[in-house]
């Protein structure tokens, strides 16, 4: 019997050693593969416009213009103007009618898209790599020579008001996050909605949009980014040719981000006709370039994301997911870590039955306190692997790569290489996670936004009192 026990122990030891060696070999191969990824090239033209690209072996490419213009650069009177221009951008230019623009794009099999966020606006085109020069010219024409006729403004106003009604009625997640920003950053521009209030939309005129574009769409605030079978030198020439006349000086003071301030507070919109309660709870996070950004992302990955439709059920690695599946606490939840230039929001969003709000929030806050005090090395390792998988999966194909390039170069002036990001994630330890959780979560005033049948959601003082443990 003793000899059998010794043999069994030896076999287990050899198995563990073999597994460790295999894992080490895989990790080394993974890092080597990341380090061999094409570098992102960035050039700044004399005008201040930045050109960035990454060569991707693909017949399809994505090219885009990314501009420092969004809801954060608006005041209460102009809020909604950036999004208004997004709806007008492809309605024609002084050189092309709307029908001519659409026919030209469709004849190349290309797709145009525009997106407005809180701190940036983007205009992108997906096309064959050989058509990149033509699409750069079209995008340059769109942002430099918008037609902005009164009839188009009137139609865009009707479309935007209709979209706001649809969002309010059907996309409650977006509604909750708008409320979360408005209460967390109340009194600052980061609390502005991208859509803007309906009263502003009804009063915006063509001259208002034209003035906004003229004051914000300047060369130092723009990035031309591309991913696909493109060459940086050729993209620079295209930028000089088609965007060389973009002004680099400002009439008066350049647009600046106003100071941001986080306020622990809440907003509740009770509506018992809605079947599920939609709740978001968040604390202030750090900016996109903050030293704690990666550790907070790992902490968010540790909490995880779960939906009733997912497989695994009670066998999920996330303890909150296990509790949600076993006790039917919610229909879904997602932990998030939103990063802006100078601040962020770290928290959770969930949808649950009306009478489960209290129990779900109790489990959420218990898990947050566990992050601060007793998270283990094994949990952190699992979260790091999941975070790497998620980040790499988001960079599949030229479109997502182009968007990542534009966003990072606009905010940071460069794009972080994947192997550097992987190394930063790998260097995060359980101690790091506990430390950042103590700084950002423990005994901090949260911001709460809730929509729907939320009578069962605890009052704010109870939520606040559960943001710390009094344990020896």
Nearest to 105 by CA among 168, 63, 156: 63
Enclosing H/E stretch for 277: strand 277-285
Rounded CA separation 165/468 (Å) = 39
Nearest to 45 by CA among 214, 223, 230: 223
Tokens for 109, please give them: 């099999």
Rounded CA separation 125/442 (Å) = 44
The CB-side HSE value for 378 (13 A sphere, CA atoms) comes to 3
* Whether the Cβ atoms of residue 143 and residue 217 lie closer than 8 Å to each other: yes
Q: What percent helix, strand, coil does the chain show, rounded to 5?
A: 50, 20, 30
Rounded CA separation 324/375 (Å) = 19
* Whether the Cβ atoms of residue 96 and residue 112 lie closer than 8 Å to each other: no
Nearest to 225 by CA among 144, 311, 136: 136
Query: Across the strands, what pairs with 345?
Result: 284, 338
CB count in 10 Å sphere of residue 374:
10
Per-residue buried b or exposed e for 376-404, using 16+ beta carbons within 10 Å of the residue's own CB: eeebbebbbebbbeebeeeeeebbebbbb
Query: Across the strands, what pairs with 281?
Result: 348, 448
Q: Which residues are catalytic?
A: 86
Question: DSSP character for 27?
Answer: H
């Amino acid at each position: 019997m003793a000899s059998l026990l010794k043999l069994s122990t030896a076999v287990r030891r050899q198995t563990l050693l073999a597994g460790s060696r295999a894992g080490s070999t895989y990790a080394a191969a993974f890092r080597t593969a990341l380090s061999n990824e094409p570098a992102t090239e960035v050039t700044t033209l004399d005008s201040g416009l930045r050109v960035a690209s990454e060569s991707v072996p693909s017949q399809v490419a994505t090219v885009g213009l990314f501009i420092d213009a969004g809801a954060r650069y608006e005041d209460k009177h102009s809020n909604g103007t950036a999004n208004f221009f997004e709806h007008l951008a492809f309605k024609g230019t002084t050189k092309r009618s709307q029908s001519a623009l659409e026919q030209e794009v469709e004849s190349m099999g290309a797709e145009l898209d525009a997106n407005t966020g809180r701190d940036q606006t983007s205009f992108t085109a997906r096309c064959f790599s050989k058509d990149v020069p033509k699409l750069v010219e079209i995008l340059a024409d769109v942002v430099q020579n918008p037609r902005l006729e009164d009839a188009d403004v009137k139609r865009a106003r009707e479309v935007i008001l209709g979209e706001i009604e649809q969002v309010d009625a059907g996309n409650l997640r977006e509604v909750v996050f708008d409320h979360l920003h408005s209460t967390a950053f109340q009194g600052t521009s980061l609390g502005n909605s991208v859509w803007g209030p309906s009263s502003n939309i009804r009063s915006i005129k063509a001259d208002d949009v034209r003035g906004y574009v003229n004051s914000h769409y300047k060369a130092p605030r723009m990035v031309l980014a591309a991913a696909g079978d493109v060459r940086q030198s050729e993209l620079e020439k295209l930028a000089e040719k088609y965007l060389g006349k973009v002004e680099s000086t400002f009439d008066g003071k350049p647009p600046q981000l106003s100071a941001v301030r986080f306020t622990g507070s809440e907003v509740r919109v009770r509506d018992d006709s809605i079947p599920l309660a939609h709740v978001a709870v968040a604390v202030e996070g750090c900016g996109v370039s903050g030293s704690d950004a990666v550790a907070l992302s790992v902490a968010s990955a540790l909490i995880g994301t779960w939906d009733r439709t997912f497989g695994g059920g009670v066998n999920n690695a996330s303890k909150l997911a296990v509790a949600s599946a076993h006790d039917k606490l919610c229909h879904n939840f997602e932990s998030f870590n939103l990063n802006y230039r100078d601040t962020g929001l770290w928290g959770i969003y969930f949808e649950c039955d009306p009478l489960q709000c209290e129990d779900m929030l109790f489990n959420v806050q218990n898990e947050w306190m566990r992050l601060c005090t007793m998270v283990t090395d094994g949990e952190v390792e699992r979260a790091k692997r999941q975070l790497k998988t998620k980040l790499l999966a988001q960079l599949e194909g030229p479109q997502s790569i182009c968007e990542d390039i534009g966003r990072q170069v606009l905010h940071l002036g460069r794009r972080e290489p994947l192997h550097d990001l992987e190394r930063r994630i790998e260097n995060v330890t359980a101690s790091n996670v506990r430390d950042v959780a103590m700084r950002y979560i423990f005994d901090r005033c949260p911001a709460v936004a809730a929509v729907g049948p939320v009578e069962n959601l605890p009052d704010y003082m109870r939520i606040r009192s559960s943001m710390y443990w009094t344990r020896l």
